[in-house]
Amino acid sequence: MEQRIERIKKQLHSQSYKLTPQREATVRVLLEHEEDHLSAEDVYMLVKEKSPEIGLATVYRTLELLTELKVVDKINFGDGVSRYDLRKEGATHFHHHLVCIECGSVDEIQEDLLGEVEKVVERRWNFLVKDHRLTFHGICHRCSGKKEPEKEDRA
């Protein structure tokens, strides 16, 4: 954790950005919720618990900055909100997502399933792939177990 913050700090400094307490608090929240897919508002609430003075605008600005630095990825599952997902260190590709249309849960797939597919795209469409977004919509293993799933809205 501390090492990752240290590394991000250097990354910021290398472009003459500062690691302010607000930014550090924001990064810590992201690190502590690595598996989640927090919206800006979510992050704001969580940061506020420890640094109540922080403003929502600062959170937005920090998240934008971190996106630029490729520390996080900004994603969008189709509800009107942007979500921010910490990039695994050393990850060469953006991980995939499984969105359950029953309970709304979002799971991550870290493995890269697209190696072959990207080669095909590069060869056949002459398109140099730099990044990708892959999301599956369907029924997760938790919901497919139930016979008559009761509506538990896990928004």
Partner DNA sequence: CTAGGTGCAAACTCTTTGCAGTTCT
Partner DNA sequence: AGAACTGCAAAGAGTTTGCACCTAG
Is residue 53 a contact residue for DNA (CB under 7 A)? yes
Annotated ligand binding at 100? The verdict is yes
- Distance CA(102)–CA(99), nearest Å, equals 9
- Decide whether 63 or 93 has the Cβ nearer to DNA: 63
CA distances from 38 to 41, 46, 47, 148 (A): 8, 10, 12, 30
Q: Which of residues 10, 20, 70, 138 is near DNA by CB under 7 A?
A: 20
Q: How many residues bind DNA (CB under 7 A)?
A: 28
Helix (H) or strand (E) holding 63: helix 56-68
- Decide whether 104 or 121 has the Cβ nearer to DNA: 104
- Decide whether 24 or 102 has the Cβ nearer to DNA: 24
Q: What are the residues facing 75 on neighbouring strands?
A: 83
Annotated ligand binding at 103? The verdict is yes
Is residue 29 a contact residue for DNA (CB under 7 A)? no
Neighbour-count burial of 75, counting CB atoms closer than 10 A to its CB (0-12 exposed, 13-18 middle, 19+ buried): middle
Structure tokens at 125: 């469409």
- Decide whether 18 or 141 has the Cβ nearer to DNA: 18
Neighbour-count burial of 77, counting CB atoms closer than 10 A to its CB (0-12 exposed, 13-18 middle, 19+ buried): middle
Least distance (Å) between residue 33 CB and DNA: 16
Amino acid sitting at position 143: C
Applying CB under 7 A, the residues found at the interface with DNA are 9, 12-13, 16-23, 39-41, 51, 53-58, 60-62, 64, 80-82
- Residue list, annotated binding site: 100, 103, 132, 140, 143
